[in-house]
Homo-oligomer: A and B are copies of this chain.
Amino acid sequence: MTADPIFFPRGDKHELELGDKLQPKFDAEGLIPCITVDAATNEVLMFAFMNELALRKTIETGHATYWSRSRGKLWIKGEESGNFLRVRELRTDCDQDVVLVKVDLIASGAACHNGYRSCFYRKLNATSGRLEMAGGERKFDPALVYKKKS
């Protein structure tokens, strides 16, 4: 990296926490956690990791872009379906080791590959100790989507 208008080298604690320079911390594997929320409601939609290129692409293109650890490649959410996640705002946390993006939910209304708005569609019932569905109706049936692909 030579001239780089987006990322700056990590600063001291004060600069990291209260400064105006984006100084993201990538872990030993070159990744930073990213929380993706619905820009309209703040509902958490999904959680994934970005590497430096994914974060740069997210900022440059406005399409949420992650690093797929399972596939070992850049993952532009919606690249196959055309249902990109449009980034309305990008935030970082106090010590800049996490990123948060606020996005417009895609046309299908589902961010999760299981057809739900959010990946967090189950909550723990404290009495039974079991998970309960809490994600509302499915926006699409993944069985049909996967069938088409196979």
Residues of A within 8 A of B (CB): 5-6, 17-22, 33, 35, 37, 41-44, 46-47, 59, 89-94, 98, 100, 112-114, 116, 119-124, 126, 129-132, 134
Main secondary structure of the interface of A (DSSP, over half): loop
Point out the residues of chain B lying under 8 angstroms from A47, CB to CB. 33, 35, 93, 98
Point out the residues of chain B lying under 8 angstroms from A5, CB to CB. 129
26 contacts between A and B (CB under 8 A): A6-B129, A19-B131, A20-B130, A20-B132, A21-B130, A21-B131, A22-B130, A22-B131, A33-B33, A35-B44, A37-B42, A41-B42, A42-B42, A42-B44, A44-B44, A46-B93, A47-B93, A47-B98, A59-B124, A90-B124, A91-B121, A91-B123, A92-B120, A94-B114, A94-B119, A100-B120
Point out the residues of chain B lying under 8 angstroms from A124, CB to CB. 22, 59, 89-92
Q: How far is the CA of A93 from the CA of B123 in the complex (A)?
A: 9
Which among B98, B120, B126 is the interface contact of A91 at CB below 8 angstroms? B120
Which among B42, B114, B132 is the interface contact of A17 at CB below 8 angstroms? B114
